[in-house]
Every structure is written in C-alpha cells, then in structure tokens.
Amino acid sequence: LPGGVYLIVMPRLANKYFELIVDEPSFSITTDASDITGKMVIEGSEENQLMYEDLRFIAAQRQKVDRINKELETLDAGDSKRTQLEAERTNINDSVLAWRARIFEQYPDAFYTKMLKAAQDVVVPEAPVKADGTTDKYFGYYYVRQHFFDDIDLQDPRLIRTNIVPGKLERYFEYYVPKVPDSVIVAVDKVAQLAKGNNDMFQYIIVTLLNKYATSDIMGMDAVFVHIVDTYYKTGDAFWLDDAGLFRITHSADMMRPTLIGKRAPNIFLQDTADRDIPLYAINSDYTIILFWDVDCSHCKKDLPKIEAAYPQLKEMGAEIYAVYSQEEWDKWENWLREHQYGWVNVGNKKLKSNFQVIYNVNQTPIILIIDKEKNIIARKIGADQLVDFLQRYKETHEK
C-alpha cells in the first residue's frame, strides 16, 4: 500500500473502525473491540505507536475538559469555583501544547509529526502597531493567507492519503482566497507550484482544483477552469490522461473560452416569429440580457415568471432581453409566446443557419448572460432572481 493513513472498518462489529499509518514494511497490531484505542498494542511500527500514544493522551485530556465544561454550566457567573475550574482547563490546554511540542522535538522526522504540524492552524503573531498607533484588523487574515502552507509539505504524497490535505485545500480556497477569478487563478498557481515535482501530489492538486471550478456555482469561475486547462493540461503536464481524456477536457475549455466574462459577445443572427432577422448586435440598449430557454424546460418555467416580473425594472435600468428559443418546435414556441405576450425580443434559429448552441456553449437551459453597450460580457450563468441586484451594483460601480 502507498504510504498514508488508512481506516480499518469492521462490518461485523457495527462498522467500528480504527486508523493505521502505513509507512513501514511490516508490523502487527492487537486490540479489543470494547476499547480499540485504549487497548491497542502495536509491534514493529514506531509511527503507529506514536500515534496511539498521542490519541490516548489527547482523549484523556478531552475527558477532563468535558467534565470541567459540564461543571461550569451549572455554576453562576460569580461563583468562586469558576476561576478554579477555568485555571484547570487552561493548565490542561497547556499540557497538550507541551505534549505536542515534545513529540515535535523527539520525533522530528516521523510522518505522524508531519501530520500533526500540517493539521495545526497557523499561529498568528501580534499585529504590528501602525504609525498612527492603531493595528490592522485584517493582519491575521493576510498573515494566515500568506503562511497557510508553511507546515504542509506538498512534496509528500503520503499526506494525500490523510484527511489533512483535502481539508486544508478546501479551507484555503473557501476562506482565504477572494472569490474573484483573477485571485483564484493566482492561488491555484501558487499551490500547484508547491506540489510540482511530486507526481502524485501534483496530480491530486490539479485534478481536485479542476473539478472544483468545473462545477462551481460562483459566476465567473469557468475562467479558472480554462486557466487550469491551458496551464497544466495543454502544456503536457497532465501525464495521467490518455489522448481521449485530454481531448475531452481541453475541448470543454475551448467551448467555454469565447463567452468568458470580459470577452466580447459573439454576434448571432436569429429570427423572430415573423422570420425577420434580429441579430444580437441590433439590440441598442445599455445592457442586453441574453436568455437561452426552452418551452419544455422545467427550470425555465420557474425562471420566466421571475424575469417577466423584473422586466419593467430592468428596462428602467437600460436593459433589454434577447430571449433565444433553443429548440426547433416552432408551433410550440409561437403558441407559448402568444399565451404569455412577453414584451422583450424573442428569437429562434428559424432559418437553421446559426450555430449559437456551440458559440455560446448552450448545453443546458436556462442560461443567462448580460452584455454591456459595447457587447462585452459582464455576467454569465447568472440566476433569474439576481438580475436586478446585479445590474444595480454594476451600474453603481461602473457608471460614474
């Protein structure tokens, strides 16, 4: 087995389980199902011996703290015994820190030591005092962001087979990277560089981040997906893929590329119910909301009433809607439009000359984009109930 931490699950004992570090050629374990951790006996594995000594010590201290916390709940705020119990709890916490410090000192090369260090939170020093005598309230955030991976060895593939690297990776991108494509791209490259040189870790990092941003529901993150593909897949770094797998991923990125936020929206030439050509670029408004929809789409049936209700307000903000029917059942489409009498521009590919599904990567419905007066894409895959708020915020920050 590759090095790492493995769970031994016992289905016949109500799925009880215990953990083992696999990092030595052979070892033996003996335990009792009544107290797996407490009665664990290990021979031939310093790593597991160290881990279970630590687990037993931590469990004993946790029991003491739990007892103190329960007793504190029964005491009034002014009870003199609170001070005594809180001091006991502090002493216990200090003893845990001292215990772990001893492990770090006595077993500096142990994998378990590396795990403990990687699992720790970054210790933030006191914020420096600025010239005006104040401290930066964001100092801790930026310090953790800068030093997040200091004790996480992304050259050691054994950490993949623990819960540490997966959890830390998720936490870093969730809490310490601004959810803006450019910031995420910088963070992706930083982490990838830390892992480069170890094939297993590099593959894990790249595949995990690719999947994360391929399925992100945050607008604009498809740019991160495209960046990962361009930087690590198209350059030959994705050694784990065959040609077919590589084509699927690079093709997906190429389909997304033309309609990323910031790109100029491709013009499309579609027709209204009277077969008159109405190109996208013929819409002369400050903002154009491009809606790809289908009569039989259940999500469209939920979103269209929301868009219809918001339409007057959207018009006041200088927006027009260019609603593109994605199918070719023209009678069904025209009957729907007669029934609902939408005031916006309704078009479809009636002449069957447009390749809009490919141009705009319409692989589902509804899909909503917003373009500005210069036809630049400012939003993609935005929700129907976000249109008004988005345009209000956009106008506040971009129209001055």
Cα 177 from Cα 212, distance rounded (Å):
14
Q: Assess whether 157 and 219 both reside in one domain.
A: yes
User: How far are the Cα atoms of 257, 280, 291, 382, 390 from residue 317, in angstroms, in the given order?
Assistant: 29, 19, 17, 17, 11
What three-state secondary structure class fits 54?
Answer: helix
Closest CA relative to residue 48, chosen from 15, 79, 87, 3: 3
Task: For residue 141, tell me if it sits in a domain.
Answer: no
Q: Write down which residue in 259, 287, 319 finishes a domain.
A: 259
Q: Assess whether 80 and 166 both reside in one domain.
A: no
Q: Do 326 and 293 contact (CB within 8 A), yes or no? A: yes
Q: Assess whether 293 and 352 both reside in one domain.
A: yes
- pLDDT for 37: 86
Task: For residue 143, tell me if it sits in a domain.
Answer: no
Q: Where does the pLDDT of residue 79 fall: very low under 50, low under 70, confident under 90, or very high at 90 and above? A: confident
Q: Write down which residue in 229, 259, 289 finishes a domain.
A: 259
Q: Assess whether 113 and 216 both reside in one domain.
A: no
Whether the per-residue pLDDT at 232 is higher than 70: the answer is yes
Q: Assess whether 391 and 273 both reside in one domain.
A: yes
Whether the per-residue pLDDT at 165 is higher than 90: the answer is yes
Q: Write down which residue in 259, 286, 306 finishes a domain.
A: 259
Cα 243 from Cα 241, distance rounded (Å):
7
Q: Where does the pLDDT of residue 400 fall: very low under 50, low under 70, confident under 90, or very high at 90 and above? A: low
Based on the structure, what is the number of domains in the chain? 3
Task: For residue 127, tell me if it sits in a domain.
Answer: no
- pLDDT for 348: 98
Q: Assess whether 255 and 288 both reside in one domain.
A: no
Cα 207 from Cα 332, distance rounded (Å):
43
Q: What is the pTM of this model?
A: 0.88
Pairing of strands 4-10, 319-325: unpaired
The single-letter code of the amino acid at 357 is Q
Whether the per-residue pLDDT at 73 is higher than 70: the answer is yes
Q: Where does the pLDDT of residue 177 fall: very low under 50, low under 70, confident under 90, or very high at 90 and above? A: very high
Q: Which helix (H) or strand (E) holds 345?
A: strand 345-348
Q: Which CATH number fits the domain that encloses residue 394? A: 3.40.30.10
Q: Where does the pLDDT of residue 125 fall: very low under 50, low under 70, confident under 90, or very high at 90 and above? A: very high
Whether the per-residue pLDDT at 369 is higher than 80: the answer is yes
Opening angle at CA 187, ends 186 and 189, nearest 5: 65
3-state secondary structure the chain: CCCEEEEEEEHHHCCEEEEEEECCCCCEEECCCCCCCCCCEEECCHHHHHHHHHHHHHHHHHHHHHHHHHHHHCCCCCCHHHHHHHHHHHHHHHHHHHHHHHHHHHCCCCHHHHHHHHHCCCCCCCCCECCCCCECCCHHHHHHHHHCCCCCCCCCHHHHHCCHHHHHHHHHHHHCCCCCHHHHHHHHHHHHHHHCCCHHHHHHHHHHHHHHHHCCCCCCCHHHHHHHHHHHHCCCCCCCCCHHHHHHHHHHHHHHHHHCCCCECCCCEEECCCCCEEEHHHCCCCEEEEEEECCCCHHHHHHHHHHHHHHHHHHHCCEEEEEEECCCCHHHHHHHHHHHCCCCEEEECCCCCCCHHHHCCCCCCCEEEEEECCCEEEEECCCHHHHHHHHHHHHHHHCC
Q: Assess whether 197 and 294 both reside in one domain.
A: no
* Average pLDDT of the residues of the chain: 95
Counting residues of the chain whose pLDDT is more than 90, the rounded percentage is 90
Q: Do 283 and 320 contact (CB within 8 A), yes or no? A: yes
Whether the per-residue pLDDT at 25 is higher than 90: the answer is no
Cα 360 from Cα 149, distance rounded (Å):
38
Across 265-277, average pLDDT: 97
- pLDDT for 243: 97
Q: Where does the pLDDT of residue 274 fall: very low under 50, low under 70, confident under 90, or very high at 90 and above? A: very high
- pLDDT for 202: 98
Task: Tell me the residue range of the domain where 214 lies.
Answer: 152-259
Across 251-256, average pLDDT: 96
String of DSSP letters for 249-294:
HHHHHHHHGGGSTTSBPPP-EEE-TT--EEEGGG--SSEEEEEEE-
Across 59-72, average pLDDT: 96
